[in-house]
Structures are given as C-alpha cells and as structure tokens.
C-alpha cells in the first residue's frame, strides 16, 4: 500500500463495514439488490460515491452455488466478504448483535456472552482484514467502521504496517464498569489500539475509551492531548460528531408533495429502525400520557410511528415488535373515536422522498432513544424544516443531544416528562419554534456529512502521533499512591529488563546510567531490591555485581542476599548431576550456533543464532530430550529452559523473599513492584495479581498478566530514576 503519510482528497479509501451499501434478498425472480437501511450506510455511501475507493463488506445473504453476487454499478469498487450460515448466526446475530450491541448501549442485562460466538467473530474479523489488505492495495487510508469489526484493525496492522488505519464507532462506547463485563475486553482494546485514529461521535464516549485503555490495559493515557500510548504505537482518540447530507434532505423536502399519511390532524412523528434502544414503547406510553393529561389533543393530534424492520431473526427484536403491536392496540383501543385513531404505526421502509415530506409536515419529531450513538433522524428532521417550523423533542441519552442544544430535551425513561415536552412542543408559538429550528439548521448545515468525512480523513492521515517520553507524572499516577508511606520491595528481572537482549548472555552488561539508577535506589533506606533471574545464582551476582541486594538465581530456586538466609529449594540436590548429563545430551545436537548454558541445577538451550529452516526441528529435538530427562521444557527468549519439575517459579520465589524479609504480614510493611520482560516473569505477574504493581517490558503484542507495560529498557531506567528520587516517606 502507499507509503504516503498524507492523503489528498482524491486518494482512494478502503472502507470496511459489516454491510455493503446494498444487500441481497432472495425473491421468485432471483437475487434482488436493495439499499441497506440504517445510519451507517446513509453516512458513508455519499462519501465513497464522491471520492472513489473500495467498500469491503458482507452482502447480507449466504448465496447458493447457482447465485451470483452482482457488484457492478457503483462508482467505487465493491469487495464482498462471503459468510457461511453458521458464521452469520454466531458473528452477526450472535456476538455483534446479542453481545456488543446491548453492552455498548449500556443494556448489559440483554447481553449474552458465548465463547463460540466470540471465536466466530474473531475468525470473521480476520477474514475482513484479509479482504481489506488484498482488495485495496492502492488505499491511502483504511477506514474500519463500527462494532462488528473491532478485531479487524490488529490483523490489518500485522499485514500492513504503513497505511494509515482508522476506526470509527457509530454506537456509544460504554463506561468502564460496563465494558469490563466483556470477557474479551483486553483483546478488543488491543486491536483498536493498532489504529492511528479512533473516532467516536461525542467526547463522552472518547473519554470512556480512555478510561478503559488505562484501567483494563494499563496503557498510558494523555487526557488533554487525547492520546493513548500502548506498546510502540500512539493512537489519537477524538470526537467526530457525524452529520447528514443536509442539502439533499433540504432539497427533497422543498420539492416533495404532501404525504398521504398526514391529513388534517397535527402530527407527532417517530422514525426508527425497530430496535429496543430506540425507546419506541416508552414513546407510545408518553403519547398515551399526553392524551390522558391533556384531553384537548384528542382527535386533533396523531402519533405517526414509522419503523423499518431490523434484525428480525433475533428473538428480542421479534418480542419488541409484539410489544409495540400490543401497545398500539391498547392506546388506540382506549382513545380512538369513529373518525380518529391516536397512534398510526407503519412497519416498513420508506424512500427518502417520502421521509422528507413527512419530516417537513410533522409538527413535532419525537426522537427519544434510550441510548443512541448519535441519531440521524433528529438531523434529517431539522434539515427538512423548510416550511412551517416544527419542534424537535430529543432524548438527552442520544449522542445528538451533545450538540443539538436547542431541541427540547427529555429523559426517555421519564414518561411523564416526555408527555409534558410533547405538550409544550404542540403549544409552542411560531417565534420560538422558528428561533430554535434556525439555530439547529445553521449548525447541521455547517457540520454536514462532507464536513465530517473531511475532518475525519484529515485527522486520520496527519501522520503518526508522537510518543511523549515517560514523565514523572506517569510514575506518580501509577505508583505514587500505591507506595505511599510504605517500604518498597522492588523485584527486577535482569536480561531484557535491565539490559537489552543480546546475542550471547555474556554481552548483556548494565549501562553506566542503569547501574547508577540501580545504585541510587539500592542506597535508599526505604527500598529493598531483589534481582530475579533465570541465570544461575553465581552468574547473576557476578554480572550485576552490586552489594546490598538480594539475588534470586535459576528463577528463584536459589536465593541469597541482605536481610535473608541463604535459600536453596530442597529438591535441587537431585538435579545437579542430572542437569550435567542433560547438558551433555543437548550439546550433541547443538549445531548451527545453538549452545547450552549450564547453570547448576538448571540449564538453558539457546537457539538465537540458528537459521529458520533448521530451527523448528532443532527445538523439537531439544524439547524431547529435556522432557525425557525428567525436566520441564519452558519457552524463553530464543531459548528453551530446562526446569526441574519442583513446583517452584519466580512468583513463589518473590513470596519467599517477602515472607523471609518482612514476615507473614509483609503486606502491612511493604509495597511490591515487579518488572520483567520474560515468559518466566509471567509466573510472577499471575502470582502477584492484586498483591503488587507489575510491569511487563516489551512488545504490546505479547499477552501478559502484568498490570502495566513499559516499552523498553530505557523506560525501566526512567522508572528506576523516579523511584530513586521520589520523596522520602514518613516511615
């Protein structure tokens, strides 16, 4: 893909969303292509039509062998992603619409968590990612849309590291307390943070995302600059409130004939996809309350509710339809007269021309979702007010409420309050109506769809955001309150943590600056340092060479140092001789630069220098020999450790040090910080979860149980420097 950092307005864009702008339906005459309903398509189709590029998406049907998915006729390329029936069930109806949709709308009681749905979702997302990379090699920007494709960015980034990659979420991003219900919260955040830019409708959602990145992943978050640093990437986070094609709706409204649905009564209009987030039952109840409280509206006002069918395979949606049918029946049964029915409910899709005339001629638009990313209906209504101005009643829980301040705000759960707002809207004088609508129209005309896409694309292609160097404020935020007035028990791995990883362990030396930082910490009377290494005890002592520390060698099987008695795991005695014999056996296969490090009761088989083609075979051979000798083969950095199966690891070693040093109630005395970069440090991270602040050094791609990450050895040095100069506690 292109290397260019910036994108001219003509640069083709790859857009990926669950749905293509049209979907296919099986009819007696074969497959029929229909415009896809919903806000996302309304938003993106005009943009691609104008700019060109590729749209990657699912055509909405599982074709039979004889059926052809016809993708001609658009002014941009279409790349369909085909799904099997079971993928549609699990990825789309399942994880997307039964897990993410309700959860992201903060309706957790409706959310279902099923590992099989998630697995299918992950697999389908990978397929979308492949389709993006393969079908749009010329793209200057890859723009992924919405909650169906949260896991796509990470796969795309793996295959293409240079093209600007951006994500826009059309639904709300939930608060931390809601988001963390998701068993796959980390995976989703990690994937999104492969992007250069993540856009949300409003600032509140962006702030929720920042909270989650910080609290779930331990990422570094800059709230003022709206940046998230995670591993080696910095991602911009921002609010981009979506707009509509204002002039198109305005023109449609100016030219459309009077709709036959509107007769002599005054009209309160609702227009929605049939969805439980849209608050349709609550709205009908509010209208019922209006008629109850203000009888003067009877026979003079109707609620005209249009609902476009949506997700009818999902049970909740079928139930909702039944619920609405019953409610409409109840209200009509209660108030209808021979010449008037209060609620007119039309369950179908309308063409834009018809919608525009209904918006124009309605007296009140009732846009009362229980939660909504933005809500385009509110904006379309405003654009269509070209004649007698109507009144917009808007839910404060829609993203649109953030900017559409001049609307009458309601809490949709407050049925009485909503009834009052409808009454007020119906009674409002022309001057007030005109003033409110004029202000709304000025904003929506200015912040239209074109302005939105331009602003988003500009932000997405501005070039990578700089990573700010770690500052004291970061360490204060992470550790200040945690350590507070306690002693600090600091545990540090050596290779890859205090020194960069080297070809040969002998080359891994402490830099003078790192040594100085270590010495300053070690001198503090309130700090105890333990070096926990996979090296043998004598080896690690020698290479660090500092007095006044505790050393734990062989992953903590041997421990000695200030303030504690020498410790050696009781079973080790049986392994010293066996370890030598195993090392001899491994030496027999140590070709192509592989070698065996003898560390007393344990050993490490290094294969960093071994060329790829022979590596796999060699590793397998070594693993087998290690296992046969009664050791556990454990993966390490370009090496395999042979560990005695004695049920001991770095985690248990840390606990041993803490108890030996501070007694069984060590947590009253000391606060524990552990920093490591290796797979073997994961034992300590898991063990110390909840007991310590743990830092994993290195690539963001490696899964970790640590509470935070540090990008590299330099960051470890900054941490030590801060620990060395932090204020003395009142011990």
Q: In the complex, which residues of this chain contact ligand ADQ (CB under 6 A)?
A: 37-40, 42-43, 170-171, 242, 271-273, 306-308, 349-350, 355, 372-377, 380
- Smallest gap from Cβ 716 to ligand ADQ, in A, equals 43
Alpha-carbon distance of 290 to 590, in angstroms, equals 85
| Nearest residue (CB) to ligand ADQ, 309 versus 593 | 309
**Helix (H/G/I), strand (E/B), else coil: 441:** helix
Residue 264's Cβ-count burial label (10 Å; 0-12, 13-18, 19+) is exposed
In contact, 413 and 201? CB cutoff 8 Å: no
Q: How far apart are CA 191 and CA 158, in angstroms?
A: 11
Work out the end-to-end distance of the chain between its first and last CA atoms, rounded to an integer number of angstroms: 59
Residue nearest ligand ADQ, Cβ-based:
39
Residue 184 CB, nearest approach to ligand ADQ (Å): 22
- Between 454 and 591, whose beta carbon lies closer to ligand ADQ? 454
Closer CB to ligand ADQ, 272 or 406, in the complex: 272
Q: Of the two residues 395 and 717, which places its CB atom closer to ligand ADQ in the complex?
A: 395
Q: Which two tokens stand for residue 155?
A: 């796969």
Shortest distance, CB of residue 477 to ligand ADQ, whole angstroms? Answer: 33
Specify the residue, 376 or 465, whose C-beta has the smaller distance to ligand ADQ. Answer: 376
Per the CB < 8 A criterion, the answer to whether 283 and 364 are in contact is no
User: Least CB distance from residue 108 to ligand ADQ, whole Å?
Assistant: 17
Nearer to ligand ADQ, 56 or 269 (CB): 269
Q: What are phi and psi of 556, to 5 degrees?
A: 95, 5
Contact 675, 717 (CB under 8 A): no
CA separation (Å) from 469 to 492, 537, 572, 718? 22, 34, 44, 9
CA distance 77 to 55: 6
Pick the closer one to ligand ADQ by CB: 42 or 579.
Answer: 42
Distance CA 231, CA 498 (A): 18
- Given the structure tokens 């007696």, which residue do they identify? 28
Residue 152: Cβ within 10 Å count: 30
Nearest approach in angstroms of CB 45 to ligand ADQ is: 11
CB of 243 to ligand ADQ, least distance (A): 10
Q: How far apart are CA 579 and CA 595, in angstroms?
A: 15
Residue of 275, 493, 677, 683 marked active site: 493
Q: How far is the CB of 307 from ligand ADQ (least distance, A)?
A: 6
Task: Classify the C-alpha dihedral 638-644-645-651 as positive or negative.
Answer: negative
- Which CB, 332 or 349, lies closer to ligand ADQ? 349
In the numeric block, which tokens belong to residue 217?
Answer: 């992943």
Q: How far is CA 617 from CA 140, 393, 504, 614, in A?
A: 41, 69, 22, 6
Q: How open is the CA angle 278-282-288, to the nearest 5 degrees?
A: 135
**Shortest distance, CB of residue 407 to ligand ADQ, whole angstroms?**
14
State which residue, 40 or 136, has the beta carbon closest to ligand ADQ: 40
The yes-or-no answer on residue 272 being catalytic is no
H helix or E strand, kind and range, residue 27: strand 22-27
Show the tokens assigned to 641: 């450790």
- Please, what is the minimum distance in Å from the beta carbon of residue 271 to ligand ADQ? 5
Q: Which helix (H) or strand (E) holds 462?
A: none
Structure tokens at 251: 């023109």
How far is the C-alpha of 651 from the C-alpha of 689, rounded, in Å? 10
In the chain, what are the helix, strand and coil shares in percent, each to the nearest 5?
45, 20, 35
Using an 8 Å Cβ cutoff, are 354 and 256 in contact?
Answer: yes
- Catalytic positions are 493
């Amino acid at each position: 893909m292109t290397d260019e950092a910036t994108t001219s307005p003509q640069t083709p864009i790859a857009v990926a969303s669950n749905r293509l702008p049209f979907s296919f339906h099986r009819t007696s005459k074969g497959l029929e292509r229909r415009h896809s309903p919903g806000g996302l398509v309304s938003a993106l189709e005009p943009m691609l039509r104008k700019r060109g590029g590729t749209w990657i998406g699912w055509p909405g049907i599982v074709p039979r062998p004889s059926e052809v998915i016809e993708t001609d006729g658009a002014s941009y390329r279409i790349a369909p992603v085909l799904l099997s029936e079971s993928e549609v069930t699990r990825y789309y109806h399942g994880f997307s619409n039964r897990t993410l949709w309700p959860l992201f709308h903060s309706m957790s009681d409706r959310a279902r968590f099923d590992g099989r749905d998630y697995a299918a979702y992950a697999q389908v997302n990978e397929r979308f990612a492949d389709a993006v990379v393969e079908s749009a090699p010329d793209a200057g920007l890859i723009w992924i849309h919405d909650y169906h494709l949260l896991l796509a960015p990470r796969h795309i980034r793996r295959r293409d590291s240079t093209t600007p990659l951006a994500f826009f979420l059309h639904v709300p991003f939930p608060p931390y307390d809601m988001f963390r219900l998701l068993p796959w919260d980390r995976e989703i955040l990690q994937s999104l943070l492969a992007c250069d830019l993540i856009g949300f409708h409003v600032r509140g959602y962006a702030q929720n995302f920042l909270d989650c990145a910080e609290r779930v992943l331990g990422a570094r978050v800059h709230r003022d600059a709206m940046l998230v640093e995670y591993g080696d990437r910095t991602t911009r986070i921002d609010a981009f409130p979506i707009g509509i094609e204002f002039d198109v709706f305005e023109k449609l409204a100016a030219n459309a004939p009077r709709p036959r649905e509107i007769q002599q009564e005054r009209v309160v209009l609702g227009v929605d996809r049939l969805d439980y987030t849209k608050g349709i039952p609550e709205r009908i109840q509010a209208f019922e309350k209006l008629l109850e409280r203000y009888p003067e509206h009877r026979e003079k006002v109707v609620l005209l509710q249009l609902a476009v069918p949506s997700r009818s395979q999902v049970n909740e949606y079928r139930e909702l339809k039944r619920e609405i049918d019953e409610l409409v029946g109840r209200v009509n049964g209660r108030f209808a007269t021979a010449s008037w029915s209060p609620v007119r409910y039309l369950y179908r899709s309308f063409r834009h021309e018809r919608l525009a005339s209904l918006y124009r001629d309605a007296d009140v638009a009732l846009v009362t979702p229980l939660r909504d990313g933005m809500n385009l209906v509110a904006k379309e209504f405003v654009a269509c007010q070209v004649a007698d101005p109507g009144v917009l009643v808007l839910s404060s829980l829609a993203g649109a409420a953030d900017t559409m301040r001049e609307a009458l705000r309601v809490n949709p759960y407050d049925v009485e309050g909503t009834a009052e707002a409808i009454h007020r809207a119906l009674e409002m004088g022309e001057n007030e109506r005109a003033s409110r609508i004029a202000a709304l129209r000025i904003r929506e005309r200015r912040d239209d769809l074109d302005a939105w896409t331009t602003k988003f694309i500009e932000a997405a292609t501005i070039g990578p955001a700089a990573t700010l160097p770690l500052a004291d404020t970061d360490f204060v935020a992470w550790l200040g309150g945690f350590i507070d007035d306690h002693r600090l028990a600091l545990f540090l791995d050596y290779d890859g943590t205090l020194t960069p990883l080297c070809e040969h362990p002998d080359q891994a030396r402490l830099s003078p600056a790192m040594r100085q930082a270590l010495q300053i910490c070690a001198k503090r009377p309130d700090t105890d340092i333990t070096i926990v290494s996979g090296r043998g005890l004598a080896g690690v002592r020698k290479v660090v060479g500092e007095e006044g520390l505790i050393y734990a060698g062989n992953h903590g099987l041997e421990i000695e140092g200030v303030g504690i008695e020498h410790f050696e795991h009781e079973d080790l005695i049986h392994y010293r001789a066996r370890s030598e014999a195993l090392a001899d056996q491994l030496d027999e296969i140590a070709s192509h630069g592989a070698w065996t490090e003898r560390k007393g009761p344990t050993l490490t088989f290094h294969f960093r220098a071994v060329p790829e083609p022979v590596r796999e075979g060699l590793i397998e051979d070594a693993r087998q020999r290690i296992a046969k000798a009664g050791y556990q083969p454990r993966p390490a950095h370009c090496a395999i450790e042979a560990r005695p199966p004695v049920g001991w690891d770095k985690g248990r070693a840390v606990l041993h040090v803490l108890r030996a040093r501070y007694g069984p109630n060590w947590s009253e005395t000391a606060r524990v910080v552990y920093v490591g970069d290796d797979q073997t440090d994961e034992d300590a991270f898991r063990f110390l979860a909840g007991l310590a602040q743990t830092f994993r050094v290195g690539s963001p791609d490696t899964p970790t149980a640590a509470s935070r990450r540090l990008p590299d050895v330099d960051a470890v040095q900054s941490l030590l420097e801060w620990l060395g100069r932090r204020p003395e506690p009142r011990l």
